[in-house]
Amino acid sequence: METLLFILVGVLGIIAIVQAVRVFEISARVKGDDENKVSDKDNRTQGLLLLLFLFFFLGAFAWMVYSWDSVILPKAASLHGADIDSLWAISMGVIIVAFLVTQPLLFGFSFLFRGSKKRRAVYMEHNNKLELFWTGVPAVVLAGLILYGLTTWSETMNPSPEDEPLVVEVYGYQFNWKARYSGTDNKLGYANVRLIEGVNQLGLDVNDVSSLDDKVTNVLHLPVDRPVMLKFRAQDVIHSAYMPHFRVQMNAVPGTETQFQFEPTMTTAEMRQDPEVVEKVKNINELRSAQGKDPYEFDYMLLCNKICGSAHYNMNMKVVVQTQEQFDKWLQEQKSFAETL
């Protein structure tokens, strides 16, 4: 019944709009000669509206930047992330300048040169100097951005092999994540989905010596200030490990191993003290308490960021960054693969 009413209201609403529009149309027709010819008055009105829109648009842009500054991610918590953030700031600077130059020109000209029967447009086919200028300037700016971008990319993706990173596997399946630590030998044992059986949820090879000391956990713990090499594996469909605070993202692809190396620079505890994070958490908790929800405490997250099925939105894993001692102690407490068998 409720549904029927709802639909009825919807249909009536649409009919009302259509009828209002109809009245509009008929009155326009009664008024006379050709209501559809654009008059000088229309040009004035629309030109003015375009100019007003420009102010509204720039104002709204400034408002968004000001009031939503607190929702965007805090500064990067990883070594390469800081480089990405600098590149981001410069690229954003370039595009905001371009935005603030072109939009006013577009809407400003639309207003300034609004039509009038008394005027005639200036005939102007092309201007080689002008065109060379606005081909050249973007080309030069882009050359800079490309060089800077490629340097950052290459440094991020090709870490030095001498880093001797801590090797950790991140394993995705519908709909959760697991982490696997390589144990004392810092070498992950062979694993394949075909070997999955009972408690051996990640399909580790029992016959591979290096898999026996591996440790499988539900939370990803990482030591601070030490390079970590994450190796990604997926059980069923493509997942993507997205750790926004570290500026890390890599797909986990069934049948292929992918990897991403980075170095966390701030522990969870330090990040919780960061002014930006404190501010953000405060905002969130105000909203949460209004809804009667438990207070939220900041944690690093690893989110699934490749559509993977119905619970994709809820497929994530907590990431804890701690000091080397805390990390060692935690890892010590975890059971090895051999112990779980």
Sites for another protein among residues 131-150 (CB under 8 A): 131, 134-135, 138-139, 142, 145-146, 149-150
- Residue 313 sits in the site that holds another protein (CB under 8 A): yes
Total binding residues toward another protein, as defined by CB under 8 A: 133
CA distance 95 to 101: 10
- Map the footprint of another protein across residues 94-113, applying CB under 8 A: 94-95, 98-99, 102-103, 105-107, 109-110, 113
| Residue nearer to another protein on the CB measure, 98 or 184 | 98
Q: How far is the CB of 118 from another protein (least distance, A)?
A: 9
Taking CB under 8 A as the criterion, the residue among 316, 323, 326, 334 binding another protein is: 316
Two tokens, residue 103: 């939009």
Four-point Cα dihedral 100, 102, 107, 111, nearest 10 = 110
DSSP assignments along 218-276, one per residue: SSEEEETTS-EEEEEEESSS-EEEEEGGGTEEEEE-TTS-EEEEE-B-S-HHHHHH-HH
Q: How far is the CB of 321 from another protein (least distance, A)?
A: 15
- Residue 310 sits in the site that holds another protein (CB under 8 A): yes
Q: How far is the CB of 117 from another protein (least distance, A)?
A: 9
115 to each of 40, 47, 121, 277, how far by Cα in Å?
A: 6, 9, 9, 52
- Residue 254 sits in the site that holds another protein (CB under 8 A): yes
- Residue 92 sits in the site that holds another protein (CB under 8 A): yes
Of 222-230, 245-253, 265-273, 330-338: span binding another protein (CB under 8 A): 245-253
Binding mask 9-48 for another protein (x = CB under 8 A): -x---x--xx--xx-xx--xx----xxxxx---xx--xx-
* Helix (H) / strand (E) containing 164: none
| Residue nearer to another protein on the CB measure, 87 or 331 | 87
| Residue nearer to another protein on the CB measure, 143 or 341 | 143
Two tokens, residue 313: 């939105």
CA distance 38 to 44: 10
- Map the footprint of another protein across residues 255-294, applying CB under 8 A: 255-256, 258-259, 280, 283-284, 287-288
DSSP β-ladder status, 316-322 and 220-223:
parallel
CA distance 285 to 271: 17
Q: How many residues does the chain have?
A: 341
Taking CB under 8 A as the criterion, the residue among 180, 215, 221, 306 binding another protein is: 306
CA distance 28 to 22: 10
Single-letter residue type at 15: I
Q: How far is the CB of 319 from another protein (least distance, A)?
A: 12
Q: Residue 54's closest CA among 112, 115, 134? A: 112
Binding mask 168-197 for another protein (x = CB under 8 A): ------x-----------------xxx-x-
Handedness of CA 127, 133, 139, 141 (dihedral sign): negative
| Residue nearer to another protein on the CB measure, 148 or 330 | 148
Of 123-131, 204-212, 264-272, 332-340: span binding another protein (CB under 8 A): 123-131
Q: How far is the CB of 110 from another protein (least distance, A)?
A: 5
- Residue 153 sits in the site that holds another protein (CB under 8 A): yes
φ, ψ of residue 119 to 5 degrees: the values are -105, 170
Taking CB under 8 A as the criterion, the residue among 12, 55, 59, 70 binding another protein is: 70
